[in-house]
Amino acid sequence: MRALTLVLLLVGCAPELQEGHFACPGGGDDECPSGFVCAAQRCWRSPPDAQVDVPTDAGPDGGDSEVPPPVDACTPQPRAVDLLLMVDDSGSMAEEQAALTAAFPRLARKLAEGDLDGDGIADFDPIASLRVGVVSSDMGVGGHSVPICDNSMFGDDGVLITEHRGRVDGCAAEHPAFLEYTPPGGLSELQRELTCYATLGTEGCGFEQQLEAVLKATTPSDSRVRFFDNTVGHGGTGRNAGFLRDDAVRVVLLLSDEEDCSAENPDIFDPGYSMTGLNRRCDVHADQLWDTSRYRALADIASDPRDVIFAALVGVPPGVETGTHDAILAHPDMAYREDPAMPQRLLPACRSASGDALPGRRYVEVAQTLEGEGASTLIRSICREDFEDPFDDLVALIATRLDARCP
């Protein structure tokens, strides 16, 4: 295959295949060599996803005369991936955090080797670099006094975690804001480091604001988007500066067994706000949460929305997770249903040996919105023995986007 590619490149450099050298008087692309399109009766290169635009000027007779087109509408892009992990650190997440760190090496290895099906033959060009940062679901509770939320004002605030919290042997107390991995070697070291980063423990706030956490983590500090107490995002030149690269495919992966409770009105976290118990506060008062349309802004964390991938391992029935977003939302187990045996709790969307997961409707709605903006999305059930299959699906999405960009 390499020899064939070399031959094609050599032919492409020959004078007779240069841009504009071939005429196509009939105006049809079939009059041009492969890889060229007809514009202004000449053949021009057509890179993937690029629009050929041959400008014209009026000639002396009022007709159009050719003006040389841009050298190339396609700017080469590195095969770089920036992965933001949002890890729920509330009381029920120990097994899921362990499953995440166990499956992560599989994801990294496939990206590093380009081998999607594990047969030892590359299916796509390997990545050149990978960055991984971690944020928690703890965004505080608006300053209200809630026993399960220690930092009541801002929580972890969408800032990349730099201290180890999971009490894993061999982990340093502090670490850099993000991991940076350059293939192909060092996968075992990457696994150890990721375990230290992503094992956050289970002592975080029980009012999880997962979507708000990733939005604040990635939103540039000069954006007009504002957060609790009129604060700004931590992307760009903010507190998470240096993590997201302009030329990388940007992946946001959420891991949570709870529904998102990103509150526009944080007063709902006040224990005295209503007679509704804390376990049902977010679904009963869903009108006090941010509308999920707010998170359309995640499509703006890259200059091209197609370079954004939104993935979520959340409360979704396993049997419908690969269906359309509408089909997932329409499933009976995705409705907010009161548990007859425990009226202050919801019935789960799914169950596994690791525990129950509540319906994650808001993540599905956000995925639906982001797909409309051109981003890629992946919704998978957190109720499973391991995360290998979802990670394989995520690798395929990443590879597809990398291959579609200008090489």
pLDDT tens track for 366-399: 999 999 999 999 999 999 999 999 999 999 999 9
Positions of E strands within 260-325: 308-314
What is the distance of C-alpha 58 from the center of its chain? 47
- With respect to residue 149, please indicate whether it lies within any of the assigned structural domains: yes
- With respect to residue 213, please indicate whether it lies within any of the assigned structural domains: yes
CA distance 146 to 354: 26
The residue with greater pLDDT, 16 or 177, is 177
CA distance 25 to 42: 7
Residues 153 and 226 in one domain: yes
- 230 three-state secondary structure: helix
- With respect to residue 371, please indicate whether it lies within any of the assigned structural domains: yes
Residues 390 and 332 in one domain: yes
Residues 331 and 218 in one domain: yes
- With respect to residue 73, please indicate whether it lies within any of the assigned structural domains: no
Residue 230: both structure tokens together: 């009129």
- With respect to residue 69, please indicate whether it lies within any of the assigned structural domains: no
Residues 128 and 30 in one domain: no
Residues 30 and 100 in one domain: no
Residues 264 and 310 in one domain: yes
Q: Is the pLDDT of residue 40 over 80?
A: no
Residues 366 and 253 in one domain: yes
pLDDT given for residue 58 in this prediction: 44
CA distance 370 to 388: 24
- With respect to residue 5, please indicate whether it lies within any of the assigned structural domains: no
Sorting pLDDT into bands at 50, 70 and 90, what band is 175? very high
Residues 57 and 99 in one domain: no
Contacts of 34 (CB under 8 A, 6+ apart): none
- 278 three-state secondary structure: helix
CA distance 282 to 6: 59
Residues 341 and 272 in one domain: yes
- With respect to residue 8, please indicate whether it lies within any of the assigned structural domains: no
Sorting pLDDT into bands at 50, 70 and 90, what band is 251? very high
pLDDT given for residue 41 in this prediction: 64
- With respect to residue 74, please indicate whether it lies within any of the assigned structural domains: no
Residues 29 and 118 in one domain: no
Q: What is the DSSP track for 41-106?
A: TEEEE--TTPPP---EEE-TTSSEEE-PPPS-S------EEEEEEEE--STT-HHHHHHHHHHHHH
For 182, list phi and psi in degrees, rounded to 5.
-115, 115
Residues 167 and 25 in one domain: no
The residue with greater pLDDT, 148 or 351, is 351
Mean residue pLDDT across the chain: 88
Residues 229 and 312 in one domain: yes
Cis-peptide, bond into residue 184, ω within 30° of zero: yes
* Averaged pLDDT, 90-106: 95
Q: What's this model's pTM, rounded to 2 decimal places?
A: 0.82
Report the number of distinct structural domains present in the chain.
2
Instruction: Give the structural domain span for 255.
Output: 80-404
